[in-house]
Amino acid sequence: MLKLISILGLVVMIAALVGLYKIGVLFTAQPIAIALQVIAVALLIWARITFGLRSFHAAANPTAGGLVTIGPYRFIRHPIYTAACLFGWAGILVHFSLASVAFGVLLFIGSMARMLSEERLVKQRYPEYLDYSKVTKRMIPHVF
């Protein structure tokens, strides 16, 4: 069931990003949005390099190789989902509308579905995840 929830979360995230693109909010010429989106892409690349090639599954699927707690994972537990949300919300903040916020909320809900399902599965595979989760936040260091 958790894997199905994670797939649905991914579909919702993709749909939200496509929706933001369709309404002309995802990409913008506003310098603050560009800066935030560059940071988001850098975070995504850093996380992917740190995590390695061991997981490119649509469903949450904890892989062998140990719990990753270095790189951006030292500060937040879900840097890839954080990067996706930051990328989308950067455009929303400079093109604020009911539609853009609705897509942003969907993006966040999708990412939360993935994060929560992944966390439950990772706890089952790696008991040390519980201690790790006590010293790191999901998306924003020291906040959330």
Q: Where are the domains of the chain?
A: 2-52+67-135
- 131 beta partners: none
Is residue 20's pLDDT more than 80? yes
Residue pLDDT, tens place only, 1-14: 999 999 999 999 99
This prediction has a pTM of 0.94
Count CB neighbours of 56 within 10 A: 9
Tell me what the mean pLDDT of segment 59-63 comes to. 80
Mean pLDDT of the chain: 95
Tell me what the mean pLDDT of segment 13-35 comes to. 97
The answer to whether the CB of 133 falls within 8 A of the CB of 58 is: no
Is residue 56's pLDDT more than 80? no
Is residue 65's pLDDT more than 90? no
Q: State how far Cα 125 lies from the chain centre.
A: 21
What span, in angstroms and rounded, lies between the C-alpha atoms of 71 and 76? 9
Count CB neighbours of 29 within 10 A: 7
The answer to whether the CB of 62 falls within 8 A of the CB of 118 is: yes
- 137 beta partners: 76
Q: How many residues does the chain have?
A: 144
What span, in angstroms and rounded, lies between the C-alpha atoms of 25 and 102? 12
Single-letter code of the amino acid located at 117: S
